[in-house]
A = this chain, B = another copy of it.
């Protein structure tokens, strides 16, 4: 048996199919992440809970940078990802505060 001759157009299509699957998985994981921060917001609205440990953000950044490096991804990009999600959490909080979206009001779980 001989190896198939490579078909670059088919290779390209395969890679794009992989990207589409990965993006779908990431969006579903982002949805789950916001469910967690919403739940944290509800907990905080009900009880006087301690603020995030001031070391938590640094620990999150260090852990994500590590996992990025192991996966051969720019560690700075993993840190940017955390900033991107945090920015959305702040925006979401502002919308809730202004009553622009409906949801139980909750505190800003910025780096939760």
Q: How many copies does the complex hold?
A: 2
Query: Chain B contacts of A11 at CB under 8 A?
Result: 39, 43
Query: Chain B contacts of A99 at CB under 8 A?
Result: none
Query: Chain B contacts of A60 at CB under 8 A?
Result: 20, 23
Q: Determine whether A84 belongs to the interface, using a CB cutoff of 8 Å to chain B.
A: yes
- Which of B9, B31, B32 is within 8 Å of A49, CB to CB? B9
CA gap between A70 and B64 in the complex, in Å: 27
- Residue pairs across A and B with Cβ atoms less than 8 A apart, 15 shown, are A8-B49, A15-B36, A16-B36, A16-B112, A19-B37, A20-B63, A22-B33, A23-B33, A26-B29, A27-B68, A28-B67, A30-B77, A34-B73, A35-B72, A77-B88
